[in-house]
Amino acid sequence: MLSRSALFSVILAFLVLLAGCSDDATAPEPPPEVDTRGDIVSVTEIGTFAPADIQALVAADPDFQLPPGMPLLDSVTAYRFVYETVMPLPNGTKAEAIQASGALLVPLNDTPKRVLTLRPGTESKRDLVASVHPANSNEGLVGICLAAGGGSVVCLPDYPGFGVSEVDHPY
């Protein structure tokens, strides 16, 4: 015969197991485990832009103007990075592993002051993003100017469906 404390322990364990069971058939499946999420696949140098090059890019775009008094002091090296991530599928119950890309703009000075992230606006062409070339987009050109003028490291991630990503963007 079980002692009173042993019987209490058995009943408590049974209740805990029973509480963990559910007959809810509508619960979504958890996303698959992806061991590579966040892993860097590659980093490629796109190019280095001297202040004179940046000024020429700005001058070539009649719709783009630097804020008054913004200096372009530093050269900037642009890198394309490709990494593993997960994209939820439209039904919201599963996720799929994909490769995504972005650009990193690094000022060539001794001490960058901060890291900024710029997000792209609505775009319809997959190659008009900073990871293809920083001057391809307004965000890329803004990022180059911020890196050159303020000493900031600027990160410009692409949305799924742009850059190297081969999925359709989920507009």
| pLDDT (mean) for 66-92 | 84
With 70 as the cut, is the pLDDT of residue 64 above it?
yes
Q: Which of 159, 156, 164, 111 is nearest to 134 (CA)?
A: 156
pLDDT tens column, 5-41: 544 555 555 555 545 555 555 666 666 564 567 788 8
With 80 as the cut, is the pLDDT of residue 4 above it?
no
- What's the pLDDT at 49? 93
Strands (E) across 20-150 are located at 40-49, 76-88, 95-107, 115-117
Confidence label for 92 from pLDDT (cuts 50, 70 and 90): low
With 80 as the cut, is the pLDDT of residue 145 above it?
yes
Give 100's strand partners.
83
- What's the pLDDT at 7? 47
For the chain, the average pLDDT equals 76
- Provide the H-helix boundaries in the chain: 4-20, 51-60, 138-150
